[in-house]
Amino acid sequence: MKVLVLTAEPFGADALRGALGTKVDPAETEVMVIAPALQESPLKFWFSDADDAIAKADEVRRETLERLSDDGVPASANTGESDPIIAIEDSLRTFKADRILLFTHREGDERYREELDPSEVESRYGIPTDRATLPAS
């Protein structure tokens, strides 16, 4: 199984296992992690103040890849656009996912444009999509 994971924060195999369910072994999946350069506020987004968001996305990408690798999960990772839909679309051009997983902050703690609706993503791309709340750090 090939799983595309969009995430705003680093995660490891336990969080992935919890989100995928007991029938899927993360060590037997091919995972592509996308860390979008999410903005903290609409103001930063619209003024294209992306430096902090890009740095955070790169940190999330690196740390997630390290955690998954340490846990024996085959994964690759990349940073993505600040619009999560575009980040997903860009990734699907080269990674033919069987499933999409959206790791997001708890409601009320979300960053600008992070509040994706899994049913909209699934309808748009025809790929089963689930949303999971990021574990508390």
**pLDDT (mean) for 34-61:** 75
Residues 2-42 pLDDT 10s: 999 999 889 999 999 989 887 888 878 899 999 998 876 55
Q: Could you give the CA distance from residue 102 to residue 82 in angstroms, rounded to a whole number?
A: 15
Instruction: Note whether 57 and 79 are within 8 A (CB).
Output: yes
Question: The domain 2-133: what is its CATH number?
Answer: 3.40.50.620
- Listed by start position, the domains of the chain span 2-133
In the DSSP assignment, the letter for residue 21 is -
Other CB atoms within 10 Å distance of the CB of residue 134? 17
Residues 108-124 pLDDT 10s: 555 545 577 889 999 99
Q: Could you give the CA distance from residue 75 to residue 64 in angstroms, rounded to a whole number?
A: 9
Q: What is the pTM of this model?
A: 0.85
Looking at per-residue pLDDT, the higher value among 51 and 79 belongs to 79
